Amino acid sequence: MTSDDRPPGAIATRDAIASGRLTALAATEARLARIAEAEPGIRAWVEVDAEGALLVDAAQPEPFPVESRGQQELVAFYGLAGRQGGYRPPLVQVPVPWVMRLAWDSSATRSFLWIHEKAAESAARALGRIAASYTGAEIRDLGLDIFGGDYAPRKMRGADRYSLHSWGIAIDFDPVRNALRADKRTARLAQPDAEPFWRAWEAEGWTSLGRDRNYDWMHVQAAARGY
């Protein structure tokens, strides 16, 4: 696999590494091509040890902020929220180890997620662990290949607060089967086979509003909910 065959996100992330913004990813970047070759069905972004074995154990969770109603902690940690047509937070393209299809246009694919640079490394590790935990068929069955959104500057519905998507610190998966009002009985990602998926995020310090508050099961965010 040459670098030209890589998804655009892998190249952007490599550039971020080169500029020193994602140093912790450098060690895994060197091994990306070899892993991808071994798993041709998956665009691998996984951590491996010196012998090339997959590292699937929990990492130290990142010290992400606890979000209050005023969201001051988010601003202190991540900087300002993005504004439509205005300020954009420092975002990195994190490659996804499997092909994602857009929820609203299944003929269009995405091979990366836009993530705030302070949450990008942990997202890359979580995605690597998820790829190591499921087969491609299981990923599709769970709907992890259905992209519902990443960076999107906007206010929360019905509240004078920014959506965490405005910082590039939230990701939505399979929004149709995990609609905002779906609960743990009805949401696809509330079912037992999603447990490794959520554990991968939680091990990195990310929060599922579904598991924490039993709503918005499509959504995972790099901040705890403190209210």
* Least distance (Å) between residue 223 CB and Zn ion: 12
Q: How far apart are CA 165 and CA 171, in angstroms?
A: 7
Which of 36, 219, 222, 223 touches Zn ion (CB under 5 A)?
219
CB-nearer residue toward Zn ion: 42 or 218:
218
Q: How far apart are CA 146 and CA 213, in angstroms?
A: 22
* Least distance (Å) between residue 93 CB and Zn ion: 18
Q: How far apart are CA 82 and CA 155, in angstroms?
A: 10
CB-nearer residue toward Zn ion: 40 or 158:
158
* CA nearest neighbour of 150 among 163, 136, 137: 163
Q: How far apart are CA 193 and CA 43, in angstroms?
A: 22
Query: Is 211 one of the binding residues for Zn ion (CB under 5 A)?
Result: no
- Cβ neighbors of 98 (< 8 A, separation 6 or more) are 42, 43, 131, 136, 139, 144, 145
Q: Which stretch, 63-71, 151-159, 190-198, 213-221, contacts Zn ion (CB under 5 A)?
A: 213-221
93's tokens: 């393209």
Nearest residue to Zn ion, using CB? 219
Which of 74, 170, 182, 194 touches Zn ion (CB under 5 A)?
170
Q: Which stretch, 39-47, 122-130, 170-178, 180-188, contacts Zn ion (CB under 5 A)?
A: 170-178
* Least distance (Å) between residue 217 CB and Zn ion: 10
CB-nearer residue toward Zn ion: 103 or 200:
103
**What type of residue is 222?**
A
Q: How far apart are CA 220 and CA 189, in angstroms?
A: 11
CB-nearer residue toward Zn ion: 121 or 172:
172
Query: Is 172 one of the binding residues for Zn ion (CB under 5 A)?
Result: yes
- Cβ neighbors of 2 (< 8 A, separation 6 or more) are none
**Count of residues touching Zn ion (by CB under 5 A):** 3
**Which residues lie near Zn ion (CB under 5 A)?**
170, 172, 219
